[in-house]
């Protein structure tokens, strides 16, 4: 299972999704899907923009965990963001 730590990173940096959206050009919907872990995939370009905006690495945003095979985002949006 992949866990997305966007909420934690935003909180640590005292940023809102609207701030990150303006800085990266990513839509609020894209950020919201990642924040709520409802996305089925993510584009490398999106990850690169988030890493630059949050001054972090991919491993700070995404974490692979071994918590079973059932994903908590089974109702995810099918398009990659």
First-residue to last-residue Cα distance in the chain: 18
Look at 78 and 44; give whichever has higher pLDDT.
Answer: 44
CATH 3.40.640.10 for domain 2-64, yes or no, is no
pLDDT at 18 > cutoff 90: yes
pLDDT at 74 > cutoff 60: no
Cβ-contact 59, 29 below 8 angstroms: no
Look at 23 and 70; give whichever has higher pLDDT.
Answer: 23
What lies within 8 Å, CB to CB, of 21 at 6+ separation is 27, 28, 31
DSSP string, 18-78: HHHHHHH---HHHHHHHHTT-BS---HHHHHHHHHHHT--HHHHEEE--S-S--TTTT-BS
Q: What are the beta bridge partners of residue 4?
A: 62
- Convert the pLDDT of each residue in 27-37 to its tens digit: 999 999 999 99
């Amino acid at each position: 299972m992949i866990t997305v730590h966007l909420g934690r990173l935003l909180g640590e940096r005292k940023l809102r999704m609207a701030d990150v959206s303006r800085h990266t050009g990513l839509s609020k919907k894209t950020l919201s899907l990642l924040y709520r872990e409802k996305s089925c995939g993510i584009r490398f370009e999106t990850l690169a923009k988030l890493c630059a905006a949050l001054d972090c690495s991919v491993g700070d945003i995404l974490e692979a965990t071994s918590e079973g095979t059932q994903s908590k985002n089974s109702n995810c949006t099918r398009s990659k963001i």
